[in-house]
Structures are given as C-alpha cells and as structure tokens.
Amino acid sequence: MLPASMVLPQQPAGYLETPATESFIQKLQLSVSKGLPHSAPAPASRTDEHELVKSVFQVLQGFNTPLLYWDKNVPAYCEKPGTYVSHLSRASLGSVLKPFLFAATCLKRVELFVGKVRSCGHGTPTLSVFASAVDSWLMRLWEATLKEEEKSFVSVDRTVTLLALTDSMSSLCSGAEHLYQVVHGAVPDSFWGSGANIASSEVAVHVVNHIFKKLNEVCLVEDGEGEPYHMLLVIFAGTLLPYLQCLDSWLYDGILDDPYEELR
C-alpha cells in the first residue's frame, strides 16, 4: 500500500476526460479568433503588393483608389478594411502603409486649405499669396511623386516593393509633413467662422509671424540648410510680396497704395 504522502488527490469528475493542455490551447485560439476557431481573411480582400504600390503613388497625388481612399469623417487617407497580402501579416502591412497614408493625408489637407482660402472671399492679399506659394510647393511634391512613379514602372522586369518605396519616398514623405506644419495654424482659428469681422492687417500679421517662427525653428535645427528650410524661405518670400509692393510704392512714389489696409 502506498504511503499517504504519495497518494494522488482525487480529481473532480470529468477533469481527466479533457487534457489541460488541450483546453488551454482551445481557449487561447478562441480568444485570438474571437470565437471563430478557423477564421481566415476573405479571399475577395486579398491583393498583391504591386497594386498597393500603385495605390500609394495615387494617394500621394491626391487621388482615391479601390484599396486606399480619403475618409472625410476622420479626415485622413485610410486603407480598405480587410485588405491583405499573402506574405505580410495585417500588422506588418499596416506598419508599412502608415507613413505613406500619413504623408498623403498631409498633402490632402494642404490641398483643402488652399481651396478653402480661395473660396472664402475674404480680401486679404497676404493670405492669398501665401496660399499660392503653398500651392506651388504642393504641385512640386506632386510632380516629384509622378516622376518617381514613372521611374518605378518604366521597366516591366522591375519589381517595386513597399519596403523599397519606403526608402525612395522618405524625402517626399518628410516634405509633405513639413508643408502641412507650415499650413497648420497659419490662419487664426476664428477666421473661418467670421472672417469678414477680422481686419486684413490682423490676418496678414498672423500669417507672416507664423511663417517667420517656423523659419527660425528650422534654421536652429538645420543651420539654414536642407529642403524644409528652402521650402519655408520660398513660401516666406512669396508671402511678403504684398508688403514689398506697398513699401515700394510708398518709398519711391510717395503713394501708400494699400486698399486692403494691411499696413495700418
């Protein structure tokens, strides 16, 4: 007879019928799949990387595609729910697409800002030329994207991957973010709701001060070099044009030609 210390404790009825390891695995599987033991992505949501690369180029130029689209409610560019490729997990795909969607969102918001300024009807020359300068730089980034797209697909034998695109488009994605930072906060928040009640001089001063502060920030970081500094310098010079024209007329002709009273 076995000693009392070696006698196994009696197990509850039915415990030995299902092994502990099997029960744990089943519970783990159900927790991950949310109750669907054999859940799998829908075949209709599967795409190939080549189509995703083409979609990335399209959204970086302000267009929508069946895989990537502009969601007005966010507002931001998003990927079609459930989209996947066979060799990447959903998390990996989302991580690779994230910087492209962010850059495309920045460019789209800049485009919407320019359109908003041009349709607001508020007579502020400084704000108008600022929007034009921003729009010119936006066009420059779009053209750079188009050239990169043409270069990527010029050879039928060349396979363009999202990872390779991350390297080749890193500068453009960075430029998109910097351009949006210039636009964001350039106009007083109260302007859009009651623009007609804000003096043109107040709007002009706010715009110029905003760009000047950004210019100083970038100059301290990059020591006056690099693409962001060059972009800010071009936009700042373009925004100052109405002021320079008024000063030229005043100093050389003795006439203060300031119909919108931006210098008063």
Average of pLDDT values for 47-52? 89
**Does the N-terminal peptide bond of residue 188 adopt cis geometry, omega within 30 degrees of 0?**
no
Residue 233 has pLDDT above 90, yes or no: yes
124 close to 18: Cβ distance less than 8 angstroms:
no
pLDDT of residue 9: 47
Whole-number average pLDDT of the chain:
83
Average of pLDDT values for 115-130? 88
Tokens of 102: 């962010």
pLDDT of residue 128: 94
Give the count of beta carbons closer than 10 Å to the beta carbon of residue 209: 11
pLDDT of residue 16: 40
pLDDT of residue 15: 40
Model confidence pLDDT, tens digit, residues 159-194:
788 998 999 999 999 999 999 999 999 998 778 776
Q: What is the pTM of this model?
A: 0.80
pLDDT greater at residue 54 or residue 3 = 54
Average of pLDDT values for 200-225? 86
pLDDT of residue 222: 65
- The full DSSP string for the chain is ---GGGSPPPPPTTTTTS-HHHHHHHHHHHHHHTT-TT----GGGB--HHHHHHHHHHHTTT---SSEEEETTTTEEEEPTT-B-TTS-HHHHHHHHHHHHHHHHHHHHHHHHHHHHHHH----HHHHHHHHHHHHHHHHHHHHHHHHHHHHTS-TTPPP-HHHHHHHTHHHHHHHHHHHHHHTTSS-TTHHHHGGGS-HHHHHHHHHHHHHHHHHHHHHHHTT-SHHHHHHHHHHHHHTHHHHHHHHHHHHHS----TT-S--
Q: Pairing state of beta strands 76-79 and 68-71?
A: antiparallel
Average of pLDDT values for 54-70? 96
pLDDT band at 157, cuts 50/70/90? low
Average of pLDDT values for 66-91? 91
Model confidence pLDDT, tens digit, residues 192-202:
776 557 888 89
pLDDT of residue 196: 56
pLDDT of residue 159: 75
